Amino acid sequence: MPSEIFDTISHLDPWMQAAIGLLGLAVLAYLLRFVARIVLLKIVPRFSQNLPAGWLQTLLHQRVLTRVSQIIPSLVFQAGIYTIPHLSPVVTNIIHNVAVACTVLAIGRVIVAILDSIQEHNEQALVKTPSTRSLKSYVQLGQLITFLIVGVIMIGALIDRSPLILLSGLGAMSAVLMLVFKDTILSFTAGVQLSGNDMLRVGDWLQMDQVGADGAVVDMALNTVKIRNWDNTITTIPTWRLMSESFKNWRGMSESGGRRIKRSLMVDHSTVRFLTDNEIRELYEIALLRPYLASKVEEITAYNQNFAKRAPDMAHEVVNLRKLTNVGTFRAYVNAYLQAHPRLRKDMTLMARMMEATVNGTPLEIYAFTATTAWTEYETIQGDIFDHLMAILPEFGLRAFQNPSGNDIKVGLRQNEVNALSQ
Read off the pLDDT of residues 219-268 as tens digits, 9 standing for 90 and up: 887 788 899 998 899 999 988 888 888 898 988 888 888 999 999 999 99
Surface-to-core class of residue 75, CB atoms within 10 Å of its CB (0-12 exposed, 13-18 middle, 19+ buried) = middle
Surface-to-core class of residue 182, CB atoms within 10 Å of its CB (0-12 exposed, 13-18 middle, 19+ buried) = exposed
At residue 6, the pLDDT reads 47
Under-70 pLDDT residues of the chain: 1-18, 21, 45-59, 86, 130-134, 166-175, 177, 196, 408, 412, 418, 420-423
Concatenate the DSSP letters of all residues of 343-381 into one string.
TB-SSS--EEEE---BTTBEEEEEEEEES---HHHHHHH
Q: Does 260-407 match 199-255 at the fold level? A: no
At residue 56, the pLDDT reads 62
At residue 308, the pLDDT reads 83
What residue spans define the domains of the chain?
A: 2-180, 199-255, 260-407
At residue 1, the pLDDT reads 44
> What's the CA gap between 343 and 271, in Å, rounded?
31
Class of domain 199-255: mainly beta
At residue 166, the pLDDT reads 67
DSSP state of 86: T
Arch. (CATH architecture) of 260-407 = 2-Layer Sandwich (3.30)
Q: At residue 415, what are phi and psi to the nearest 5 degrees?
A: -65, -40
At residue 291, the pLDDT reads 92
